């Protein structure tokens, strides 16, 4: 009865040891600490002075003592055994089955490393640390310097313990892989940010250069106007200068933003209108120009085309709509309430009205119609107490997405 009670208590202690180690292994991320604790708990569970965990090294085809309990210095992380049947742990590893040696003195088939004799090892039990769908990690071994007769209960304890240890090893490997992946992703993100910053700097530099060059060309054209007496020549130079000016305003509006391929058309139109009155000739003090616009983030090609359209039609009103040099011009940009993928640009004046004559020399109006066709838009003119130009144009889905990102930033 006493023996039965002692056996039951031993089994309960061993079960508690496995459960306690499992809890520890889940909390601890350092695999070496987990292996060392495993060796200690196994030794305590079977009441032996020595225990070790051996890791298989495929390149060397050996088993390295990765962690241990009770050994003198120079064993853990130093001693290796051949992964073959010349050692107890090698036999367990290659067969995949537990290996029991109750008395090494009687088993002359082993070629044991010197540390066995140095520690007086007589009895050993080895079980394989299996990892699902992978090569075994290695071997868990307990060692005793007193001859013992180990039974199936001891094997079951070590096998159960080795299974828990295998899961801890697999979890550590997954964690290491995850950390490596995260490290690589962080490096990629850092590199991406560096390239984006570099791209931003280069794009801003390009925008500065383009804007400055366009402004230089505009200055040269306006100077040439002063040296040109011919009225037709002045008119042509003024039209070219006006178009160069609208392009310069596109790049000026881009500066200070992180967008290099699109810009807020509403903000651009407002900025353009402020400056359009400043580049007009003659007495325009009696002509009011007002502008209102919703936000549209459009690709640069469309912004450029629409900007030139605004400049041409507004200038046309300044030049031809007001014989007495008094009146009003209004520019509005709105999103179509019925079709959000469409925008509407309206340019209105309360002047004399406009009738486009066949063979007209007003090249600006012809340019406007070509630009509207280029952006897949439609243009309509209504003459009633002035002139009202209506340009309907598409707002690409990509532009709407860019606008959401732009506003969120």
CATH number at residue 16: 3.30.450.40
| Residue 265 domain-assigned (yes or no) | yes
Specify the length of the chain in residues: 409
pLDDT in the model for residue 407: 47
User: Which domain does 363 fall in, by range?
Assistant: 258-409
Last residue of a domain, one of 148, 183, 218: 183
Which pair of tokens denotes residue 326? 């008094």
β-bridge mates for residue 140, sequence order:
53, 127
d(CA 215, CA 69): 81
| Residue 222 domain-assigned (yes or no) | no
Which pair of tokens denotes residue 351? 């002047």
Query: Do 179 and 268 fall into the same domain?
Result: no
d(CA 298, CA 304): 10
DSSP characters for 215-226?
Answer: HHHHHHHHHHHH
Last residue of a domain, one of 183, 215, 246: 183
Query: Do 403 and 272 fall into the same domain?
Result: yes
Q: How many domains does the chain have?
A: 2
| Residue 325 domain-assigned (yes or no) | yes
For strands 262-264 and 297-299, give the pairing: antiparallel
The CATH number that applies at residue 309 is 3.30.565.10
Which pair of tokens denotes residue 366? 């012809």
Residues 6+ apart with CB under 8 A from 185: none
Query: Do 262 and 167 fall into the same domain?
Result: no
Query: Do 61 and 146 fall into the same domain?
Result: yes
d(CA 152, CA 163): 16
**80 touches 63 (CB < 8 A):** yes
Last residue of a domain, one of 162, 183, 204: 183
Q: What is the pLDDT along the chain (409 residues), one digit of tens a residue?
A: 556 666 777 777 777 878 888 888 888 888 899 999 999 999 988 889 999 999 999 999 999 999 999 999 999 999 888 999 888 999 999 999 998 998 888 877 888 888 899 999 999 999 999 988 888 999 999 999 999 888 888 888 899 888 888 888 888 888 888 888 888 889 888 888 888 788 777 767 766 677 677 677 767 777 787 777 777 777 777 777 777 777 676 666 655 554 456 788 888 888 888 878 777 766 778 999 999 988 878 888 888 889 889 888 988 898 888 988 899 999 999 987 777 788 999 999 998 887 766 555 455 688 899 999 999 999 999 988 899 999 999 988 755 554 444 444 4
d(CA 230, CA 101): 115
């Amino acid at each position: 009865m006493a023996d039965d009670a002692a056996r039951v208590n031993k089994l309960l202690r061993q079960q508690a040891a496995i459960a306690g180690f499992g809890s520890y292994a889940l909390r601890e991320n350092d695999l070496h600490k987990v292996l060392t604790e495993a060796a200690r708990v196994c030794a305590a569970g079977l009441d032996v002075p020595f225990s070790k965990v051996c890791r298989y090294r495929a390149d060397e085809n050996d088993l390295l003592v990765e962690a241990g309990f009770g050994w003198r210095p120079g064993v853990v992380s130093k001693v290796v055994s051949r992964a073959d049947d010349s050692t107890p742990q090698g036999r367990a590893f290659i067969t995949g089955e537990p290996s029991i040696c109750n008395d090494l003195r009687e088993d002359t088939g082993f070629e044991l490393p010197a540390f066995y004799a140095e520690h007086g090892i007589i009895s050993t039990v080895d079980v394989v640390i299996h990892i699902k769908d992978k090569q075994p990690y290695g071997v868990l071994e307990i060692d005793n310097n007193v001859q013992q007769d180990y039974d199936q209960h001891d094997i079951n304890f070590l096998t159960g313990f080795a299974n828990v240890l295998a899961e801890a090893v697999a979890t550590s490997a997954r964690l290491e892989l995850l950390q490596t992946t995260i490290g690589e992703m962080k490096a990629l993100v850092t590199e991406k940010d560096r390239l984006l910053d570099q791209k931003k700097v280069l794009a801003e530099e390009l925008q500065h250069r383009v804007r400055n060059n366009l402004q230089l060309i505009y200055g040269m054209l306006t100077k040439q106007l002063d040296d040109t007496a011919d009225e037709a020549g002045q008119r042509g130079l003024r039209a070219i200068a006006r178009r160069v000016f609208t392009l310069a305003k596109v790049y000026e509006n881009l500066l200070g933003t992180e967008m290099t391929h699109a810009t807020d058309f509403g903000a651009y139109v407002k900025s353009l209108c402020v400056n359009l009155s400043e580049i007009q000739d003659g007495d325009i003090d009696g002509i009011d120009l007002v502008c209102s616009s919703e936000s549209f983030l459009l690709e640069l090609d469309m912004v450029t085309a629409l900007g030139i359209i605004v400049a041409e039609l507004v200038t046309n009103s300044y030049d031809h709509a007001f014989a007495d040099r008094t009146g009003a011009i209004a520019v509005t940009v709105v999103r179509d309430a019925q079709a959000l993928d469409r925008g509407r640009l309206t340019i209105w004046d309360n002047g004399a009205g406009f009738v486009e004559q066949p063979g007209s020399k007003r090249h600006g109006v012809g340019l406007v119609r070509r630009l509207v066709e280029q952006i897949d838009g439609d243009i309509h003119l209504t003459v009633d107490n002035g002139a009202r130009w209506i340009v309907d144009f598409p707002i690409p889905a990509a532009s709407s997405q860019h606008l959401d990102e732009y506003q969120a930033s």
